[in-house]
Amino acid sequence: MKNFVQTGDNLSFVASSIVAPSHASGDTYTNLVGAGEGLSTPINLVESGDPVVIGRIVGVANNDALTSADSIVVSTRGVYALAVQAKYGAGIHDGETVYINPTTAVLSDDSTGVPFGCVVSAGGGIVIPVGSTLTVNVKLFGQTPGATGFGS
């Protein structure tokens, strides 16, 4: 029996099941409704390029949601330039793990979040000084195991 389904690099989820960063305003698209008319994405839905988390699956959204029922493709492999906040210690160094907050989808060095990826830069050393938020290259983990047992 052949049971292979897909490679798993890009997965589709319903927008309402995705935790993504909040946005002050939605993107504006033109020519979706008609010539000269624009359509804005809702403020609290996922947008293309957002770091996202669905349970233990982490990745980057490939498209915007216009409704909570939209299907969103999430990339779970690759290296992406993303905003990361250094909260603790001596900042974030090259190769260190970045975590995603399961409620806000903010990336940081807060290990109470879901492991998201690791910082990869050409320079080495401290990439993000403590107290700063900078856009850096992050290699995605894709998904990580939870705690042992039910519900992980």
> pLDDT of 58-105, one tens digit each?
999 998 888 889 999 999 999 999 999 999 988 898 999 999 999 999
What confidence tier does 31 reach under pLDDT thresholds 50, 70, 90?
very low
| Residue positions counted in the chain | 152
The pairing of strands 97-100 and 107-108 is antiparallel
Q: What pTM did the predictor assign?
A: 0.83
Residue with tokens 């993000």: 128
Across residues 121-141, what is the average pLDDT?
86
Higher pLDDT among residues 21 and 147, named by residue: 21
Residue 30 has pLDDT above 50, yes or no: no
Q: What is the pLDDT at residue 53?
A: 94
Residue 99 in contact with residue 80, Cβ under 8 Å?
Answer: no
Give every CB contact of residue 115 below 8 A, 6+ residues apart in sequence.
58, 97, 99, 141, 144
Output the six-digit token pair for 24: 């002050």
Output the six-digit token pair for 9: 């690099």
